[in-house]
Amino acid sequence: MSSKGDSRETFSSGLAVFFATLGSAVGLGNIWKFPYLVGANGGGAFLLIYFLCILFVGLPVMASEFFIGRKTRKNAIGAFKQLKPGSPWKHIGTMGVAASGLIMFFYSCVAGWVYYYLFKAIRGDFAGVTLDSAKAQFGSVVTDPVTPILWQVIVMAVVSLILTMGVKKGIEKITKTLMPLLFLLIIIIDIRAVTLPGAAEGLKFLFHVDFSQLSGAVILTAMGLAFFKLSLGMGTMITYSSYFTEDNNLLGTAVKVAFADTLVSMLAGIAIFPAVFAFGMQPGAGPGLLFMTIPLVFSQMPFGNVLLIAFFFLTSIAATTAMLSLVEVPVAYFSEERGLSRKSSVLLCAAVIVVLGIPAALSADSAGLLGGVTVFGKSFFDLYDFISSNIMLPLGGLFIALFAGHMIDKAQWRQELTNQGRIGLAGAVGLFRFIIRYVTPALLVIVFLHSIGVL
Ligand code: PHE
């Protein structure tokens, strides 16, 4: 049986487990990374590769994190300490805590812009906006030395408040309320988007199947995306699964979350691209698409401002629920391994994120206060993103796969995946173990070598 601390919280049901975990997966990645990458890299062909990456890397790593978390009921570092006492494996967790900080430094900055844009949309700032004024508005936000930091602080205050309420009253309650709302909002925007004249172009951009664009680099992009999207490789899923219910079907949850997350990404693409094409714009990547094209396009359509508010509200929800899981990694560590109360732990993490997030906020644009400062040829903003997403997550994923495949024996896997024989999955355990032992690590080595530029 798993060891359980008596006072440790758990989620209250399978549905709560699902929404909390989905809340972690669904984030800024769905709205600005996924749709663009699909459209730009061969549409349906890229999707096919992405699904294969989820199948052979994403799902096995996710299930491994679930195994480690639920079996030990510990934070990302404590879990490895319990399974292999006195071994260096615990540094997978150390790296996870560090990666969570690095991601948060820039993620909270972008989330701050999203909150601010929601505020601006409510205030009516985008009425009659033109391409030039949309550019100017975004430019003044990213180069301002005060406003982005202020909104970053607001974001961190919201995230901290929810986290101090705990696992059940905080994370569970918020994700269970907001994730269904997110689905509703995105479907409403989708209906408007696909009924615009000229919407077909946008759908074509997203769903055309072009195998000629597939290359090694594209395949590796799909793999990296699968990692970031499903919040893997840094102990987020270890931490969340340490709160899972005892009867949760781990493989089932992994499949459901990966499926629902991909669905949200596609719905986001359907919300964005038909509108972009209907108004004769070019689809661009990242911040430009989210903060310049979207206000411009939405404000031109009937009910545009209401939809724009809905859009930035749903993006705020996605960013916030993802940040809960990012910050929970160090929060659980400091409160369980370092003797801090949960509240002090949250405050400590929030303070560090705000302070170290400032260089990211000031360097997000080359015209910003710290925009000209470079370390290893990158601004702080890009450096945080690069080190965490391109190096730490794949490396963490590789070590998690190696640990789960080679340090955990088949009997333990069978016990945990079948919930001590209660779920009829025993036949699949051998196949699963083969994938996690050999296939997943091999594929990850390729991604990792690519991400550091060796391959
Ligand atoms: N999955 C989140 C997104 O798509 C980002 C994230 C990465 C969250 C790693 C937690 C851990 O935006």
**Ligand 1, residues 97, 227, 228: which to mutate, most atoms within 8 A of Cβ?**
228
Taking a C-beta distance cutoff of 8 angstroms, is the pair 391, 437 a contact? no
Torsion on CA atoms 64, 66, 70, 74, rounded to nearest 10? 80
Any ligand 1 atom below 6 A from CB of 27: yes
For the CA of 28, the closest atom of ligand 1 is 12
pLDDT in tens, 384-409: 888 887 788 889 999 999 999 999 99
Any ligand 1 atom below 6 A from CB of 322: yes
Any ligand 1 atom below 6 A from CB of 403: no
Any ligand 1 atom below 6 A from CB of 25: yes
Predicted confidence at residue 361, as pLDDT, reads 85
Taking a C-beta distance cutoff of 8 angstroms, is the pair 77, 97 a contact? yes
For the CA of 34, the closest atom of ligand 1 is 4
Nearest to 419 by CA among 190, 245, 238: 245
**Ligand 1, residues 325, 328, 329: which to mutate, most atoms within 8 A of Cβ?**
325
Please give the single-letter amino acid code of residue 416.
Answer: E
Predicted confidence at residue 5, as pLDDT, reads 45
Nearest to 327 by CA among 428, 391, 234: 234
Q: Give the ipTM of the model, two decimals please.
A: 0.98
Residue 15 bridge partners (DSSP):
none
- Pairwise CA distance, residues 130 & 109, whole Å: 25
For the CA of 100, the closest atom of ligand 1 is 11
Please give the single-letter amino acid code of residue 274.
Answer: P
Any ligand 1 atom below 6 A from CB of 325: yes
- How far CA 400 is from CA of 43, 83, 254, in Å, comes to 31, 13, 16
- For residue 218, the surrounding DSSP H or E stretch is helix 216-229
Any ligand 1 atom below 6 A from CB of 29: yes
- pTM value is 0.92
Predicted confidence at residue 285, as pLDDT, reads 63
CATH of domain 14-451: 1.20.1740.10
Burial profile 326-359: b = 16 or more Cβ within 10 angstroms, e = fewer: bbbbbbbbbbbbeebebeebbbbbbeebbebbbb
Q: What is the largest CA-CA distance in the chain?
A: 64
Any ligand 1 atom below 6 A from CB of 414: no
Please give the single-letter amino acid code of residue 53.
Answer: C
- Which DSSP category does 281 fall into? P
- Pairwise CA distance, residues 389 & 397, whole Å: 11
Separation of CA 318 and ligand 1 centre (Å): 10
Any ligand 1 atom below 6 A from CB of 444: no
- The residue contributing the CA closest to ligand 1 atom 11 is 231
Any ligand 1 atom below 6 A from CB of 229: yes
Residue at token pair 């405050």:
347
- Pairwise CA distance, residues 235 & 376, whole Å: 27
Separation of CA 281 and ligand 1 centre (Å): 28
- The residue contributing the CA closest to ligand 1 atom 9 is 231
Separation of CA 196 and ligand 1 centre (Å): 31
- The residue contributing the CA closest to ligand 1 atom 7 is 231
Any ligand 1 atom below 6 A from CB of 283: no
Residue 108's Cβ-count burial label (10 Å; 0-12, 13-18, 19+) is buried
Any ligand 1 atom below 6 A from CB of 228: yes
Taking a C-beta distance cutoff of 8 angstroms, is the pair 67, 413 a contact? yes
Residue 252's Cβ-count burial label (10 Å; 0-12, 13-18, 19+) is middle
Torsion on CA atoms 309, 21, 9, 355, rounded to nearest 10? -60
Taking a C-beta distance cutoff of 8 angstroms, is the pair 95, 435 a contact? no
Predicted confidence at residue 451, as pLDDT, reads 65
- Pairwise CA distance, residues 393 & 379, whole Å: 20
Predicted confidence at residue 4, as pLDDT, reads 42
Any ligand 1 atom below 6 A from CB of 70: no
Conformation bin of residue 356: beta by default, left when phi > 0, alpha when psi is -120 to 50:
alpha
Residue at token pair 């910003």:
368
For the CA of 230, the closest atom of ligand 1 is 1
pLDDT in tens, 132-156: 888 899 998 988 889 999 999 999 9
- Which DSSP category does 214 fall into? -
Any ligand 1 atom below 6 A from CB of 112: no
* pLDDT beneath 70: ranges in the chain: 1-6, 284-286, 451-452, 455
Residue 43 bridge partners (DSSP):
209
Separation of CA 307 and ligand 1 centre (Å): 25
Any ligand 1 atom below 6 A from CB of 236: yes
Any ligand 1 atom below 6 A from CB of 92: no
Nearest to 24 by CA among 220, 175, 181, 215: 175
Separation of CA 415 and ligand 1 centre (Å): 29
Structure-block tokens of residue 93:
């967790």
- For 199, residues 6+ apart whose C-beta sits below 8 A from its C-beta are 193, 274, 275, 277, 278
Separation of CA 322 and ligand 1 centre (Å): 6
- What are the residue ranges spanned by the domains of the chain? 14-451
* DSSP conformation letters of 354-398: HHHHHHHHHHSSTTSTTTT--BTTB-HHHHHHIIIIIIIHHHHHH
Residue 375 bridge partners (DSSP):
378
